[in-house]
Amino acid sequence: MTFSRREYLAASASLLGRPAMSALPRRAAPAPIPEEHRLWYTDPAKVWTEALPVGNGRIGAMIFGGTRHERLQLNEDTLWSGGPYDPINPQAAETVPQVRALIAKGDYAAAQALANAAMMGRPLHQMAYQTLGDLLIDMLFDGPTDAYRRELDLDAAIATTRFAAGGVAVEREIFASPADQVIALRMYAKGGLMPPMTLRLQSPQVAKAEAQGDNILLSGQGGAAEGISGALRFAARLRIIAPGATWRAQGDALHVDPAREVILLLAMATSYRGPKDVSGDPQAITAHQIAAASALPFAALRQRHLAQHRRLYRSAALQLTRGKGAALPTDQRIAANESEDDPALAALYFHYARYLLICSSRPGCQAANLQGIWNDKTNPPWGSKYTININTQMNYWPADPVGLAECFEPLLRLTRELAQTGKETARRMYGARGWVAHHNTDLWRATAPIDGAAWGLWPMGGAWLCNMLWDRWDYGRDRAYLESIYPLLHGACLFFLDTLQPSAQGLVTSPSISPENQHPFGASVCAGPAMDRQILRDLFARTISAAGELGKDADFAAQLAKARAALAPDRIGKSGQLQEWLEDWDDAAPEPNHRHVSHLYALYPSQQIAPDTTPDLARAARVSLEKRGDESTGWATAWRIALWARLGDGERAHRILRFLLGRGRTYPNLLDAHPPFQIDGNFGGCAAMAEMLINSREGMIHLLPALPSAWREGAVRGLIARGGVRVDLVWRQGMLAEAILTSARAQDCKIRLGDVSRGVRLTPGRMLRLKGPHLTPA
């Protein structure tokens, strides 16, 4: 399939409901490709990893699409176990110097044992994100069903189930409205009436459901965990609206007689108001939300929802050629892609990740956790927490590059709250100024190390989050935003100025670990792993840059510059690899294929290593990647794709992407299989695809840096480069046909395509067109 830029823009406009650019002559558009924006199936979901997600950032549901028995598994993003607590170990302050001394002597096992005994958080594990329960719809009919189809329209954020029973066509339409804070469900029949149905709300929590009038109210208490009592109260309220129909409340259920149309509105809330405040009234909140939503016709609710969702979703799109499997149901399409490449499946994965981020991270909501907002357990794997040694950061890697900067706000708020608890952790554990957060946190913003020293004794979580905040600045260049985050950067730097330790190689962190990996001496605890030094080089440089931009703290910036210059440098080992530790231990480490590639942070997401600026280190990073292997857990596979893309190897990146899209790493509902489900693989895969199409750093945009031969024809619109430059591309026969650059501010920029580069001046509000392959101005 070959298409021109005009055809692509027209197709995108047709598909996404937006007018093509007025500067282009109008022409007939080819048929849209709904497969790139739609998941669909010919059977109901049998298990949770086949169900389809809807969400508005705060509340969500997994929809099974059953006929006689429909299930909506429900989540509210503040329903976590436990309550406010103080996890700081009172022995930690006196223990830190002893652990450092043991590390300096090389007695790593003893250092780790002591840290486990006297530094780790109390309790040792944090609180867990939890399911609220289920909405169950039982339709009472006999006989077979036919004409079955369920689908998720990503552009509309609406899940639909259709089937016929007894000659009556039944359709259910479900969405989670960001505008009205309810999950809305409309069921209607064509050719007759729907069969009788029973509606119930249930929960695995300590809860009670009661039906009264046209409502079911489910109310309960969040669970205890790790000796911390459950402090949160929650409520889910369901209202039925069915003009012309009759129903009756009985016990915990609503029984509905045959009807042509039934509308359900569902609201959910908890008593959470902040990390130290659980005084909210969830019953009053849900009553208000239901009353407000009920005052609007369903068509108005639907339109308000569409407007809010499409404002974000339609900001970017990717089009790739369709393989033979493109017309298959999504589960079959995933299977078919393993034997014959279907490039447009990658485009669907790209769009799905954007959809998931919109649905799990909106301003005012909680940040997307290990499962976004979708979790069916009270004790999910890893607590479905915020793992801030890679996973939470990976959730937000695509936000700016794929045009979803607005979705970043919850991560900023999480970091602000961590800085508050992190001040106490820095002072009471380390005797330091500033703030620190270790490798995991939860709703209550705990910052002490958890899970044991081999996993949790890593003090860089807050520093990495600060680098993410600065990246948001680098893409948007909003001075007011930079002013707002500067205290967070400043505080994170203060902690390390107080705690860095001298070594023969330079300043290092101690104690620390290289995330979740073990070195050859029977432990993980060490001093100065590569990732720590790389994160600090970014943190110090970015805080220096921010201080200069804001015209403040010149003396402090000078301190940071001195400390940065004294950090131990990256080192290349005897096998030509980039060393993960200060010492050349990589070849003897017990897990040569470890999922984390922490020492390659400097290559991606950082820009410290690049083939054109640090070729020796880039070659060493390549050796490390080769040694680690291509296949790993879902999120680790996504990271490998981005790393190979940053090295300019599109073929290798695409080969690993094919593995990520296979049945071993992608469930039938296209969610990432760690396994089990973690959403970071979806987000990381999307960010990696964006990296294959553009790479940007200060003053430079590299077009199609890692385009694989399998993506011979394609187009993308709405990618964002650093400096706030929108990039639209069309390529044919594996070569750039045209690029359109649009900047929100005046700036000079170097555009690169292969070995060709051109300096350009970007002017606000004016499109700059460049023709390939020589970047000729159009």
pLDDT per position as a tens digit, 608-642? 999 999 999 999 999 999 999 999 999 999 999 99
Question: In this predicted model, what pLDDT tens digit does every residue of 421-437 receive, in sequence order?
Answer: 999 999 999 999 999 99
Q: Using pLDDT thresholds of 50, 70 and 90, give the confidence band for residue 416.
A: very high
How do residues 355-398 score in pLDDT, each as one tens digit? 999 999 999 999 999 999 999 999 999 999 999 999 999 999 99
The pLDDT assigned to 345 comes to 97
- Tell which of 313, 329, 351 closes a domain: 313
Q: What is the CATH number of the domain that holds 413?
A: 1.50.10.10
Residue 26 has pLDDT above 90, yes or no: no
* Residue among 169, 163, 138, 172 nearest 256 (CA): 138
Mean pLDDT is lowest, of 148-152, 242-246, 506-510, for 242-246
Q: How far is CA 90 from CA 27, 120, 425, in A?
A: 72, 10, 10
Domain presence at residue 46: yes
What average pLDDT does the segment 676-693 reach? 98
Q: 220 and 349: one domain?
A: no
Whether residue 17 has pLDDT greater than 60: no
- Spatial separation of the C-alpha atoms in residues 496 and 536, rounded to whole Å: 8
Q: Could you tell me if 618 and 655 lie in one domain? A: yes
Do 57 and 178 touch, CB atoms closer than 8 A?
Answer: yes
232 pLDDT more than 90? yes
pLDDT of residue 34: 55
Of the three residues 265, 296, 313, the one that is the final residue of a domain is 313
- 385 in the same domain as 302: no
Residue at 85 is within a domain: no
Shared domain for 257 and 357, answered yes or no, is no
| Of 73, 205, 263, 75, residue with least CA distance to 669 | 73
| Sign of the dihedral through C-alpha 74, 77, 78, 81 | positive
**Reported confidence tier of residue 778, pLDDT bands at 50, 70, 90:** confident
Please tell me the predicted confidence (pLDDT) of residue 11: 40
pLDDT exceeds 80 at position 698: yes
Q: Classify residue 26: in a domain, yes or no.
A: no
User: How far apart, in whole angstroms, are the C-alpha atoms of residue 440 and residue 382?
Assistant: 10
Q: What is the mean pLDDT of the chain?
A: 95
Among 684, 682, 680, 676, residue whose Cα is nearest residue 48: 676
Q: At what angle do helices 554-566 and 479-499 cross, to 10 degrees?
A: 50
What pLDDT sits at residue 142? Answer: 87
Do both 549 and 678 map to the same domain?
yes
Shared-domain flag, residues 243 and 373: no
Residue 470 lies in a domain: yes
What Cα–Cα distance (Å) separates residue 539 from each residue in 199, 602, 643? 53, 12, 21
114 or 1, greater pLDDT: 114
- Cα 350 to Cα 693: distance, rounded to the nearest angstrom: 12
Q: What is the pLDDT of residue 658?
A: 97
Instruction: Let me know if residue 12 belongs to a domain.
Output: no
For residue 28, being part of any structural domain is answered with no
Sign of the dihedral through C-alpha 551, 554, 557, 561: positive
**409-412: Cβ within 8 A, 24+ apart:** 409/361, 409/362, 409/363, 409/364, 410/57, 410/361, 410/362, 410/363, 410/364, 410/365, 410/366, 410/367, 410/368, 411/361, 411/367, 411/465, 411/468, 411/469, 412/469, 412/472, 412/485
**What's the average model confidence in pLDDT over 17-37?**
43
Residue 19 reports pLDDT greater than 70: no
Contact 72, 62 (CB under 8 A): yes
Domain that holds residue 232: 39-80+129-313
pLDDT at 32: 45
Q: How does pLDDT run across 529-548, given as a tens digit for each residue? A: 999 999 999 999 999 999 99
Q: Are residues 51 and 100 in the same domain?
A: no
> Which pLDDT belongs to residue 655?
97
Domain boundary residue, one of 641, 664, 697 = 697
Do 656 and 511 reside in the same domain of the chain? yes
Query: What is the band of 33 on the pLDDT scale with cuts at 50, 70, 90?
Result: very low
Report whether pLDDT(71) > 70: yes
Kindly tell me if the per-residue pLDDT of 208 is higher than 60.
Answer: yes
Helix, strand, or coil here: 275? coil
Q: At 292, which CATH number?
A: 2.70.98.50
pLDDT in tens, 177-189: 999 999 999 999 9
* 735 in Cβ contact with 715 (< 8 Å): no
Q: Is residue 421 domain-shared with residue 543, that is, in the same domain?
A: yes
- pTM for this predicted structure: 0.95
Residues in the chain: 778
- What integer is the mean pLDDT of 676-691? 98
- Tally of domains in the chain: 3
583 and 656 part of one domain: yes
Res 12 pLDDT > 60: no
Q: Is the Cβ–Cβ distance between 411 and 418 less than 8 Å?
A: no
Residue 35 — pLDDT band, cuts 50, 70, 90? Answer: confident
- Say if residue 424 is in the same domain as residue 457: yes
Residue 427 shares a structural domain with residue 568: yes
Residue 438 phi/psi, 5-degree rounding, is -90, -145
Is pLDDT of 202 > 60? yes
